[in-house]
Amino acid sequence: MRTVVCTLIALCTACGGTSEPEPWTLVWEDAFDGPAGTAPDASRWTYDVGGDGWGNDQLEFNTDRTNNVDLDGNGFLRITAREEAFQDNAYTSGRIKTQGLFATTYGRIEARIRLPDGQGIWPAFWMLGSDISEVSWPACGEIDILELRGQQPNRVLGTVHGPGYAGGNSIGGEIVLDEPVTNEFHTYAIEWDPDHITWFFDDQLVHTVNPGDVPGTWVFDHDFFLILNVAVGGNFLGDPDDTTVFPAVMGVDYVRVYQRTTPLVATE
C-alpha cells in the first residue's frame, strides 16, 4: 500500500489542517437503539455469512447470530469475535452490511466506534461498490474508511482499492497517534466527492486521495454500500497468538450518512 503518514499532533501542518464545515443533510443513520441482546434493525442491515477466508485467509466464520452481532440495550452495536469451534473454523465473528437496503454515491459517511485490539484482530468500517455482483472486485471499488491491525492499536488505515491498485497495492494513508485508539470511542469519517475522497479522524483532516493518485481507473463515481466487521487473522495482519484476548468486541455508537446540501461537481 502506498501511504501518506500523518501524526495526529502534526495534522495541521502536515496534512493541510481541518477544512471549514460544509452544509450537510442527513440522509441515513442508525443509532442502534433496541433491547439488549437483539439483532440490529433488519431494514438497515443484513449479513455476510461464511468462513471460507474471505479472500484474505481469515480464520473466522461470520455468523448471523446474536452471539456475534447484537445491541447492548444502551444504544450501541456490538460485533464480537470469539474463540470457538464453529463450522470447521476456530473463531466466529460478524460482518454486517447495507447491501440491497441502502447505498450512496458521494457524501459524508461517519461512525463513532470503539475498536478492539490484539494480535490478529482486524476491525474495519468500509464500503464496496454496489455493482460487485456484475463486475466483481476490485472493479467495483472499495473504500476503507478505517482498518486496524490489532497489534498496532495506535495506527489506523484509510485506503481505496480498484483495478490496478488492489490488495497490497491499495492507495491511502494512516493516522499515527501517541495513544491507542482502542482506549475510547472515536469518530471515523470520509467526505467523498466527484473527484476526491478525504479521511477524517475526530473531525481532523488526515489525507485525501484523488484520481491522479491511483495507477488505474477511478471507480468511485457510483453507489456503494456500507460494511462493519471484525475479522480474525489473515494475510493482512497475521493470526492470533497467546497474547490475543477473546472475546474481542467492536462497539458502534452510530453510523450516519450525509449528502451535501449543495453538491460539488468534478473539476477538469
For 243-268, b/e burial (b = at least 16 CB within 10 A) is ebebbbbbbbbbbbbbbeeeeeeeee
Name the residues annotated as catalytic.
142, 147
On whether the CB atoms of residues 108 and 258 are closer than 8 A, the answer is yes
Nearest to 148 by CA among 106, 107, 176: 176
- Say which residues have a Cβ less than 8 Å from residue 48's Cβ, sequence separation at least 6: 62, 95, 96, 97, 227, 229
**Rounded Cα gap, residues 251 and 184, in angstroms:** 10
On whether the CB atoms of residues 163 and 139 are closer than 8 A, the answer is yes
Residue 134 DSSP SS3:
helix
Question: What is the torsion angle, in degrees rounded to the nearest 10, for the CA atoms of residue 170, residue 172, residue 176 and residue 182?
Answer: -70
Q: What is the DSSP letter of 14?
A: H
Q: Which element (helix H / strand E) includes 114?
A: strand 107-114
**Rounded Cα gap, residues 217 and 180, in angstroms:** 35
3-state secondary structure 203-215: CEEEEEECHHHCC
Q: What is the largest CA-CA distance in the chain?
A: 54
